């Protein structure tokens, strides 16, 4: 492993450990000494990568926000195809990288957390995936692939299922994820 790869590996190890602890114990409930101990590094090395716990939190939230913007970049044939492609890609990716499932839980916590710096909370709520996905619901309703109904309600239904599945998967990855078509069935026009 090159020095650059080793540094990137160490940084990701710190982020993964911090993410797990922040989800389990909250931001203020987690001490940097716990993060370094669980990551198997010195606290000094932790501060080499992240000068403060707030910077570590900010990096995780930035990563989460970037991930929340990704669905809107999907190329899809129609509304139903958008939701199918997202679920297929997410489920495949999460099986290889459980960090992503924990990130869903983390970002949900960050959106309502009162114990984090306000600027970071504001960043965490800057992307409204449910509202943004209404465009795809409306497109699918126009072309007849998505059932009639309030677009915001249908988008919320889909994303609540996704979030619930990610939360359960982060706790118990032995429970298999459903077939993406099962989720799509909730949206499909009859």
Question: pLDDT value at position 55?
Answer: 97
Maximum Cα interatomic distance, the chain, rounded to a whole number of Å: 59
- This prediction has a pTM of 0.87
Taking the C-alpha atoms of residue 124 and residue 108, their distance in angstroms, rounded to an integer, is 9
Tell me how far apart the alpha carbons of residues 48 and 51 are, in angstroms, rounded to a whole number. Answer: 6
Contacts of 162 (CB under 8 A, 6+ apart): 87, 90, 104, 183
What is the predicted pLDDT for the residue at 185?
Answer: 96
Concatenating the DSSP letter of every residue in 70-133 gives: GGGG---SSHHHHHHHHHHHHHHHHHH-THHHHHHHHHHHHHH-SSS-HHHHHHHTS--HHHHH
Question: What residue ranges of the chain have pLDDT lower than 50?
Answer: none
* pLDDT tens-place string over residues 83-105: 999 999 999 999 999 999 999 99
Task: Domain ranges for the chain, please list them.
Answer: 1-51, 58-187
- Cβ neighbours of residue 5 closer than 8 Å, sequence gap 6 or more: none
pLDDT in tens, 28-60: 899 999 999 999 999 999 999 999 999 999 999
Eight-class DSSP state of 40: T
d(Cα 22, Cα 24) in Å, to the nearest integer? 6
d(C-alpha 8, C-alpha 5), whole Å: 5
From the candidate CATH numbers 2.60.40, 1.10.287, 1.10.357, 1.10.1200, the one assigned to the domain spanning 58-187: 1.10.357
Q: Decide whether 1-51 matches 58-187 in CATH topology.
A: no
Provide the CATH topology of domain 1-51. Answer: Arc Repressor Mutant, subunit A (1.10.10)
């Amino acid at each position: 492993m090159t020095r650059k790869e080793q540094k990137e590996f160490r940084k990701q190890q710190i982020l993964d450990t911090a993410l797990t602890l922040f989800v389990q114990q909250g931001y203020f409930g987690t001490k940097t000494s716990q993060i370094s101990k669980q990551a198997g590094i010195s606290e000094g090395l932790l501060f080499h990568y992240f000068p403060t716990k707030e910077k570590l939190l900010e990096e995780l939230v930035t990563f989460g926000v970037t991930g929340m913007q990704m669905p809107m970049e999907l190329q899809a044939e129609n509304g139903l195809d958008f939701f199918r492609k997202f679920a297929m890609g997410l489920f495949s990716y999460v099986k290889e990288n459980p960090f992503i499932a924990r990130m869903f839980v983390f970002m949900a916590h960050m959106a309502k957390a009162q114990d984090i710096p306000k600027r970071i909370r504001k960043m965490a709520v800057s992307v409204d995936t449910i509202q943004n996905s209404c465009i795809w619901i409306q497109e699918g309703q126009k072309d007849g692939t998505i059932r009639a109904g309030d677009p915001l309600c249908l988008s919320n239904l889909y994303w609540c299922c996704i979030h619930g599945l990610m939360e359960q998967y982060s706790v118990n990855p032995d429970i298999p994820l459903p077939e993406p078509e099962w989720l799509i069935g909730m949206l499909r026009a009859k």
